[in-house]
Structure 1
Amino acid sequence: MGWLHKMNAYFKEQLSLKNLLKVLLILLILYFLSLTSNVWMSWLTTLRLILTPFLVGFVIAYVVHPFIEFLQKKGVSRKIAIPLVCLGMLMLLIGILMMVVPMVYDKTTELINSMISGLNWLYQQYVEINENVPNILVAGIFQQITTLLNDTKSWLPNFSAILPQLISKVLSFLTNAVFAFIISVYVLFDFEKIRKTIFSLARTIDKELPIYLSAVNAEISGYLHSMLMLMAIKFIEYSLLYMLIGHKSAVTIALLTSIGLIVPYFGATIANFIGILTSLTLPLPNVLLLIGGICVLSMVDAYIIAPIVHSRSSQVPPLWTLLCVFAGGMLLGPLGIMISIPVFMSLRVIVNLVRFRNERYDPLPTEEE
């Protein structure tokens, strides 16, 4: 029961009128914030919509900048390297979309047709077993499922009902994407100047703040380097796997799988789903081999390759990863999911640095104390 005495002593020590007033003041502030949530939440939403393209542009520039530095070391002028890298990145993205979207659309139609054929075959077998006297309820269920699948198939090529909303969303997305891309180009041209300005402002706020910024930059740079290595490894793995089963778009699916690492958990899952969906027209042994290969490669990547590629400091526990992804998605949507892990790593390295500096510089207790 010693812990009860310790807890009681702790509360007696901390429980004072001053501390109670602080708690009450915090609770009062939270109460007023909840009452005015409709006002400031709308302001925050508007501010988020305004700042998102700038944040995306800065993130793109930060990720692309190492490639610019690499080309500069090879003797390529910065004025040439930036348009070259940006154009290559843009062409790669457009190429992937042009190859993946029609392929998924066609395979989805084929999948629905195969499901309808399979249901019809099952129903015929059922009718033969019951000597051409099927149960009315079972016949109705089969008919409803077949009608639902046929309606889905007829809906796929018909976008007339949702065309206005679709055009509006696509135009909004393209506008923000183009704006973010232009911002990233400007940031890349003035990257060193922006970096010096940030460190100068940080130094005016606190002399030790640039130390934390440097630590965060080193941590994120290491994470991005490891991520690029994992993307290359995953591209090679899945290219060989899809070629082994005879997939016609092996390279495209493998590239999509490797890029899916940008979005933790969800990206790779969606890419694997697309890979399995587009392989359902292959023979059954090939599909089973693909599913088994994806399971094996996922385990190997998660428990063998990733720990080797990532440094010990850049590893994030799975539960923290899920929490960060969920919180990032709730706050900022897809962008929040993508930056959730780097943000967590930044906060972690700051906390560790503060703790290390306190442990290092705080005076040790003397024997008398």
Structure 2
Amino acid sequence: MDEPQKQPKRKKRFESNNTYFTICIYAIATFAICLLIFRFTSNWQSTKNQIGQILSVFSPFLLAFLIAYFTNPMVKHIDNFLFQKTLKHRFERGHLLLSMILAYVIAIGAIILVFIFIVPQIINSISQLVRISPTLYQNALDMLYSLDERFPTLDLSFIYQAAEDVMPDLFNFFRTFMSDTVLPFLYNAGLSIISWFINIILAFVISCYLLFSKQKLIKSLKRVAYAIFPEDICLTLFDTLKDCNQIFSQYIIGKTLDSTIIGILCLACMTILKLPYALIISLIVGITNMIPYFGPFIGAVPGILILLIISPKSSLIFAVLILAIQQLDGSVIGPKILGKSTGLQPISIIFAITVGGALAGPLGMFLGVPIVAVLTFLINKLINYILKKKHIEPDLSNTKDSRTSERSSNDPFIDEFEESDPND
């Protein structure tokens, strides 16, 4: 008797497919992200207002994070040099608390000294410059007329015409800028600090908690990371974040210390040489020194122009002084403090300054360098990872491209390109 034939299984109309499901998830996520980007950019003013409201709500926490981030190196140095050897490990929490208190006393004391002694002198110097601006204008014209008397054979009529056309507007702009912008800014900054007093106090309290409980917070974040990602990814992530933090913080702290030393050195030298407006000019020199390459030149120009109108001899002395200080900074102070904290090539630094300045002004010119340094580090790390998966050494020593070792070009630019290390 024949066995009954088995009926073939009917194919389901819809079958589960993990590949298609993953593709759908990615497609939906991509569409949602594009929709959000379009929504935010199409009504940018509303987006800026919403971002501002969010930042205003979280401003104490953001300020607390910044305070803790920039105070942490001082706390660590105080802890290592003063308390580690004396209190040992059994009072670890105690000497950490003492280090925090001492660091905050130093920071708050420095801020109070700045507001008590330096800010009034800056306001006084600016007010004095505004008052004597007509005299400065007349001195500039007298200087031009004296050139005609010393060099009668030169035709300086076009210079006189340009001076008569430009200099009144220039001095009016200077006087208006100082009286209507800088002085109100300093006044409003003082009022803002008073109105922000509660937020500042709250931020200091939160920053104390962040510093004191730093290890617990880091451990909590690590627990979250280990719960989400595999262990090898977590280890790579932690090492990468540690390196990025080291690059960023070393540059910010080192450049701030370097610029502070340059400003104090400029103030001391100008005071010894009895040059006028030493405080405000040194402050400009110190602040602009935070910008690599271009900063020293930007900071020297206002001082040279102000002193040139008051006394050409003082202007010449100041120019020589700035050149000497910058040579000292470039050869001794800068390398000693900063070293090779960024690892960037000069063209990369110029790119960072240019783009950062275009996007965020002077602050972008300063922060552009460490941000580009971090991005360069991450890109190099990604490239090395991809090369490792392809079994290629980072220096390309095991590739078939033997041009760097078997032939040499007569063009030094090509030789330098072929012998360059991709890790640089």
The answer, yes or no, to whether TM exceeds 0.5 is yes
Q: Distance in 2 between matches of 1:304 and 1:162?
A: 34
Q: How does 1:80-229 map to 2 (within 5 A)?
A: 80-94=101-115, 95-119=117-141, 171=191, 175=195, 179=199, 182-184=202-204, 186-194=206-214, 196-198=216-218, 200-201=220-221, 203-204=225-226, 205-206=228-229, 207-208=234-235, 209-224=237-252, 226-229=254-257
- 1:43 maps to 2:47: yes
Q: Distance in 2 between matches of 1:226 and 1:163?
A: 30
Q: Deviations over 1:146-178 (max 9, x none)?
A: 87578668858975x999999778755765697
1:195 Cα deviation after fit? 5.6
Q: Distance in 1 between matches of 2:172 and 2:283?
A: 33
Report the secondary structure of 2:213's partner residue: helix
1:84 Cα deviation after fit? 0.3
Q: Deviations over 1:195-214 (max 9, x none)?
A: 64246425344413212121
Q: Distance in 1 between matches of 2:298 and 2:197?
A: 22
Q: Report if aligned partners of 2:254, 2:337 keep a CA contact under 8 Å in 1.
A: yes
Q: How does 1:199-348 map to 2 (within 5 A)?
A: 200-201=220-221, 203-204=225-226, 205-206=228-229, 207-208=234-235, 209-224=237-252, 226-231=254-259, 233-235=261-263, 237-239=265-267, 241-243=269-271, 245-248=273-276, 250=278, 253-254=281-282, 257-264=285-292, 268=296, 271-276=299-304, 279-280=307-308, 283-298=311-326, 301-302=329-330, 305-307=333-335, 309-329=337-357, 335-348=363-376
Q: Distance in 2 between matches of 1:348 and 1:142?
A: 47
Aligned to 1:69, which of 68, 71, 76?
76
1:72 Cα deviation after fit? 3.5
Q: Report if aligned partners of 1:63, 1:224 keep a CA contact under 8 Å in 2.
A: no
Q: Where does residue 364 of structure 1 map in the other structure?
A: 391
Give 1:352's aligned amino acid.
N
- Go from structure 1 to structure 2 and tell me whether the alpha carbon gap of 1:293 and 1:331 turns closer, same or farther (over 3 Å shift): same
Q: Report if aligned partners of 2:126, 2:178 keep a CA contact under 8 Å in 1.
A: no
Q: Report if aligned partners of 2:247, 2:374 keep a CA contact under 8 Å in 1.
A: yes
- Go from structure 1 to structure 2 and tell me whether the alpha carbon gap of 1:351 and 1:241 turns closer, same or farther (over 3 Å shift): same
Q: Distance in 2 between matches of 1:169 and 1:249?
A: 22
Q: Report if aligned partners of 1:112, 1:149 keep a CA contact under 8 Å in 2.
A: no
Query: Which structure would you say has the larger Rg?
Result: 2
Q: Distance in 1 between matches of 2:357 and 2:219?
A: 30
Report the secondary structure of 1:210's partner residue: helix
1:67 Cα deviation after fit? 1.7
Give 1:290's aligned amino acid.
F
- Go from structure 1 to structure 2 and tell me whether the alpha carbon gap of 1:150 and 1:64 turns closer, same or farther (over 3 Å shift): closer
CA RMSD in angstroms, aligned pairs only: 5.0
- Go from structure 1 to structure 2 and tell me whether the alpha carbon gap of 1:93 and 1:27 turns closer, same or farther (over 3 Å shift): farther
1:351 Cα deviation after fit? 3.0
Q: Report if aligned partners of 2:122, 2:279 keep a CA contact under 8 Å in 1.
A: no
Q: Distance in 2 between matches of 1:36 and 1:163?
A: 37
Q: Report if aligned partners of 1:242, 1:250 keep a CA contact under 8 Å in 2.
A: yes
More helix by share: 1
Provide the TM-score with structure 2 as the length reference: 0.59
- Structure 1 unaligned spans of 5+: 1-21, 127-134
Q: Distance in 2 between matches of 1:170 and 1:344?
A: 34
Q: Distance in 2 between matches of 1:267 and 1:212?
A: 31
1:340 Cα deviation after fit? 2.9
Report the secondary structure of 1:98's partner residue: helix
Q: Distance in 2 between matches of 1:223 and 1:110?
A: 40
- Go from structure 1 to structure 2 and tell me whether the alpha carbon gap of 1:320 and 1:364 turns closer, same or farther (over 3 Å shift): closer
Percent identity between the two aligned chains: 20
- 1:350 maps to 2:378: yes
Give 1:213's aligned amino acid.
L
Report the secondary structure of 1:364's partner residue: coil
More contact order relative to length (CA 8 Å, sep ≥ 6): 1
Q: Report if aligned partners of 1:112, 1:153 keep a CA contact under 8 Å in 2.
A: no
Q: Deviations over 1:222-280 (max 9, x none)?
A: 32453255235524642454245322554664455334444556765554345335534
